[in-house]
Amino acid sequence: MNKKELKEFLDEKVIQYNNPDFIDSDPIQIPHQFSVKEDIEIAGFLAATIAWGNRKMIINNSHKMIDLMGNSPYDFVLNHSEEDLANFDGFVHRTFNADDFKFFIQSLKNIYQNHGGLEAVLQPKDKADNYQHAIHHFKQVFFEIPHQPRTLKHVSDPLKGSASKRINM
């Protein structure tokens, strides 16, 4: 593909994806319902985490996750109680279950309280660093608190050969 063909292809994709009609039928609608940066980050991260399978099912289950957090993800992450997390029991999206969801909330709380938030943890640390290393670092921070081994599978690591598609979303 030459430069002209590539430009035409990319221009077509912009028209296809960069419009409200596409957003209405895509999981990207989940973070789009928020205006606070941290709500957007958390909603986008959780929607991307379960972004495998049928798009309609992903959207529905993403809405369920947001509903379980009282439609205020950042506030919920910082201020949830054990009783609040108990409301997650029964949640499942394919192999992502209530225990995984509970851990994600606890880990996000750790990240926001102790590491400056998702953006800070995912930011490459120096000019020699790249996004693969940033994602690897993110995974280390994400799992620095006690967790079930099964939950590891929900966050990939590009330094271990993964394309890390969901975290790149």
The pLDDT of residue 53 = 85
What is the per-residue pLDDT across 56-100, written as a single tens digit (0 to 9) for each? 999 999 999 999 999 999 999 999 999 999 999 999 999 999 999
Task: Report how far apart the first and last C-alpha atoms of the chain are (Å, whole number).
Answer: 25
Residue pLDDT tens, the chain, 169 long: 899 999 999 999 888 877 777 777 788 889 999 999 999 999 999 999 999 888 999 999 999 999 999 999 999 999 999 999 999 999 999 999 999 999 999 999 999 999 999 999 998 887 667 788 888 999 999 999 999 999 999 999 888 887 777 777 6
Would you give the distance in Å from CA 91 to the centre of its chain?
17
CA angle 168, 10, 166 (to 5 degrees): 15
**What is the C-alpha separation between 154 and 146, in angstroms, rounded?**
15
Residue 159: what pLDDT?
84
pLDDT at 66: 98
Cut 0.75: pTM above it:
yes
Of 38, 101, 96, 106, the C-alpha closest to 67 is: 101
Residue 128 has a pLDDT of 62
Q: Facing residues of 93 across strands?
A: 96
Task: Look at residue 119 and give its three-state secondary structure.
Answer: helix
- Which residues 6+ apart lie within 8 Å of 119 measured at CB? 37, 41
